[in-house]
Chain A
């Protein structure tokens, strides 16, 4: 059934599959989905979603009795739900509900509501599963309702009550967090909320009861369109108001660092100068906090990935981006000490961070004020962090805080008795390790600080 080189994540839906040809993302549509595709195209449904920038654009490139092939707009870097900040997750959830409402109003319905059907492109959430729309059958319930709860609503509620780390759970539950688990993890008081009781706790109970119905003897459920719209509207209103309880650890990071304004400006000046020389189209800022330094760049880049370990910093960046309507920034959560793994069937459904970043191949990498965290908090030898950066960086702008830096001192002091184990942390050792894979193009000490900025070039990666 699947000819060509079907993408390894594209096998669940028999309507068609994705394949990559000469770098283009294409989709084969099987005859089983011809009717839907025709209706969606001819009614202007697809076209209107394109205009509203909520569905990834595609164009038809060939058509036969056996298959239709469409070519989709390419997304340079795909982020997964477990890499989104809280408000990114929220936008993706709201987008899915908006699409279902619009579908219903036009005689269609989303047949699945997987969080992996959404990603971020040009500054906002976009739906990428073109074949997810099916005909709506009058008075039928929403088939993807449970999936919406396990992929979106559940994780967001858990994040609300237990912190943003909960959003990473989807990396372990590729098809959503089991309803029973969501129900058991939520505080008892949520049972008093009619909306949470019905959507989570009652759902968990009923799922349990009907688990044993192997013969499918239960009567076929029915639900009016008005009823379904009520569910969607109520979930939309609830999710839109949902916030995180925790305050950011890094949110106002720049207010409490040891940078004088002068040093801060100088750092930005040096970075700008080097970026001007390298002239990159794409970049990744590892540990980029809220995107401050990328925003200070004078030259425009096509796409800047800004990652940070702290969900709140990423969230702050995302909100800033949305308010400024910036389209060339893509924030996401990344823990350098444990980047997203490859998951799913054959470990091939969702690619690891390293695989994706290698394909993206950024022209330049920023690692500003992260090396001391990696080395001291993570106990990572310089050789190993150099190995990490060298996997994808043609050019690397790295900031090295020396031993006398107050942050370094703080990290060292927290080691207490083991402080002596970290004698390796000094500039000479750093240079020695990084020189093995990188060529040092330039280094500049930042005045008024204990920090050095370096511009490195990979010895072997093609530039």
Chain B
């Protein structure tokens, strides 16, 4: 088994199944609302923001200088 060098909290481990279920419902309903708003043309245009997207891209272009320190 892996090293556990800090206490992850037993409650916090067990509860994640419940939180995940709630999160699933929240995400689903948000998505549904968005689609309904889109249908009626009420969706707000995406605002430009400074934060990166949740997905980190798998870039295949070799343009980096890895190994540079």
Contact = CB atoms under 8 A, between A and B. Distances in A.
Interface of A: 12-15, 32, 47-52, 54, 57-59, 71-74, 87, 90-91, 94-95, 97-99, 101-102, 111-112, 134-135, 137, 141-147, 149, 175, 179, 194-195, 197-199, 202-203, 205-211, 213, 216, 218-219, 221-224, 227-228, 230-231, 233-237, 240, 319, 322-323
B42 interface: no
Nearest to B62: A51
B27 interface: yes
Contact of A218 (B14, B49, B50, B51): B14
Contacts of A57: 66-69
A102 B52 CA distance: 13
A244 to B, nearest CB: 15
Contact of A207 (B4, B12, B20, B59): B12
- Determine the main DSSP class of A at the interface with B: helix
Nearest to B2: A134
Question: Of B6, B13, B21, B26, which is in contact with the most chain A CB atoms at under 10 Å from its CB?
Answer: B13
Nearest to A206: B11
Given A57-B66, A98-B55, A234 B26 contact: yes
A15 B3 CA distance: 9
Interface in B1-55: 2-6, 8-27, 30, 49-52, 54-55
> Which 8 A-B pairs rank lowest in CB-CB distance, beginning with the nearest?
A227-B20, A206-B11, A146-B12, A234-B23, A322-B50, A207-B11, A141-B16, A230-B23
Contacts of A12: 5-6
Given A51-B59, A73-B69, A147-B8, A195 B26 contact: yes
A265 B15 CA distance: 59
A218 B67 contact: no
A71 B67 CA distance: 10
Contacts, number: 164
Contacts of B5: 12-14
A319 B64 CA distance: 27
Contacts of A71: 69
Given A198-B22, A230-B24, A213 B10 contact: yes
Nearest to B7: A146
A121 B22 CA distance: 36
Given A72-B69, A240-B51, A203 B12 contact: yes
Nearest to A87: B50
B50 to A, nearest CB: 4
A198 B27 CA distance: 14
Contact of B22 (A141, A194, A237): A194
A321 B26 CA distance: 33
Contacts of A236: 54
Contacts of A234: 22-23, 26-27
Contacts of B3: 14-15, 32, 111
Nearest to A124: B52
Given A99-B56, A233-B23, A322-B50, A143 B4 contact: yes
Given A221-B17, A240-B51, A322-B50, A47 B11 contact: no
9 contacts: A59-B67, A71-B69, A102-B56, A141-B14, A142-B16, A175-B6, A194-B26, A222-B17, A234-B26
Contacts of B26: 194-195, 234
A237 B31 CA distance: 12
A147 B6 contact: yes
A32 B12 CA distance: 26
A90 B10 CA distance: 27
Given A47-B66, A146-B9, A323-B50, A237 B2 contact: no
Given A15-B3, A98-B54, A234-B27, A143 B13 contact: yes
A57 B67 CA distance: 7
